[in-house]
Chains A and B, each alone.
Chain A
């Protein structure tokens, strides 16, 4: 009962602070807009206990949703967690706050290979939170064949008709098709993109749904035999739900992503946001986050407490090339949209 009351008060308080954003209310609160189920509740509770700052976490389910919300102005959020190519777009469009991340304690925790990458060359706007890749997952009860190439997914055999599912976002699916066809990401050549469209159109009769919700049930429960999906999610559904699934390692390459903490321009609780980012980058908290989220950690974790390793979570240790998704130019984006519109028209 008391928990319920506290939660509702929290919700009311945060709603109130969002609406009014009075400084007096803003003092002790922090609102986070992150990928669904991406932030460990245990870590959030620990942060609240240590600092007395009230945290609310809302979920988005695609980078585009997040970008649109920030572009529409005053989102009311203090921390957002875009993927690498959207970090670049947001920095370029002036939507993020320069928080001087490269001089924050959190920066020292970032593994060297993820510091000051092309999406944030000064390292001042973002601190990475998790990374992984997009590929496809098969249900081994329904599909026994090989999973070493995108061919089995994009040009499936006859018995898989209506047994394949894709995602609802062009930004996820098209780079994978480009990997398969050997076309560079964000191609501005219409002829190349026409080949992508032809490939996806030929695949369409096999596709049961283009949907990014409820994937666990669809692939784990066997509604479909193959699903476009992510590494860590596959690992979690295999370990936690004992689903007979396998993450494919296509030789043409997986599509890499990395999500970062960033602060939207004009955030009301800038200092609290920085406190939270530093907190989450600490080794013990990063370990809690790693164990909860199940995606690879770009910050140092405590190896003795980390749950996943090469043996029990092969999904997180790809044996094929991983090519990071790019921020497309408007011209290239136009072609991506054209492919997607004509595919679903």
Chain B
């Protein structure tokens, strides 16, 4: 009992400004979204504070064309597509980042600095401009189409832009720097002596990569995977600009609900579901990492 009454120590008070910012800019807005997701929709958008769980039910059940309430997977299809595309993006980013990061880490310090600077360069340009540039590259009169035509390979590649492939290219391009940086950081920390030791013990190149380098770079790869996967789930621009708006990802679905559909509570409910999915994923990762650490320490 006594312990509870003790005044907070100074270092807790010192964190107060940061906590205040978190409260005002993160926790309260999320609270509002949760509130909206349990409200009744207004006739022309907006919402009324009348409690209902209808928005959550609507995610799974909808009136069919015959007017009866039935299970409707339309939103689940969008969710599944989002997860699959995000996973694919993460895997491609990982596969491309590792050699790039490894190559950079082998350079002289000055070259290393320059290359890392180049990797971060896209961050200085607006996301819209970066995605838009792919329209110009992939379009009918784009660089790729022109090159292929000039080489006489094919005349009919008008199908590059506005495809799922274009969407995936855009996603990988947008988020790959977020993967390269943490992977590079963990490769930098790799002790070359360990690689040498592996070779001394007659480990082949492949074995060295598999048993020494990759396990030691795991934390960087996991961090990169989270940094790529999570924002991918909320991607809005790539499906619209590169996918031609033909299929939706969750970001577009949420936008549709707040915009044309005038169903804010449903949009809020989908946002909450998306957020919960991300949190469960991160929690699972966290627990997994903690258990592993515990095992290693215990052994």
Contact = CB atoms under 8 A, between A and B. Distances in A.
Interface residues of A, number: 40
A303 B88 CA distance: 60
Nearest to B74: A345
Contact of B261 (A93, A204, A210, A337): A337
A167 to B, nearest CB: 9
Contact of B245 (A64, A68, A209, A221): A209
A92 B44 contact: yes
A168 B248 contact: no
A20 interface: no
B244 A93 contact: no
B139 A190 contact: no
Nearest to A339: B65
A171 B45 CA distance: 15
A68 B259 contact: yes
A310 interface: no
Nearest to A210: B245
Interface string A208-220: 1111011000000
B139 A223 contact: yes
Contact of A89 (B41, B44, B65): B44
A162 B259 contact: no
Interface in A79-95: 89, 92-93
A190 B42 CA distance: 21
Interface string B260-297: 11110000000000000000000000000000000000
A257 to B, nearest CB: 16
A62 interface: yes
A49 B244 CA distance: 43
A333 interface: yes
A190 B246 CA distance: 23
A344 interface: yes
Contacts of B245: 168, 209-211, 344
Nearest to A214: B135
A170 B246 contact: no
A71 B46 contact: yes
Contacts of A330: 41, 43-44, 262
A82 to B, nearest CB: 12
Nearest to A329: B43
6 contacts: A62-B259, A162-B159, A210-B244, A337-B261, A337-B263, A345-B77
Interface of A: 62, 64-65, 67-68, 71, 89, 92-93, 162, 168-171, 190-191, 193-194, 204, 207-211, 213-214, 221-223, 329-330, 333, 336-338, 340-342, 344-345
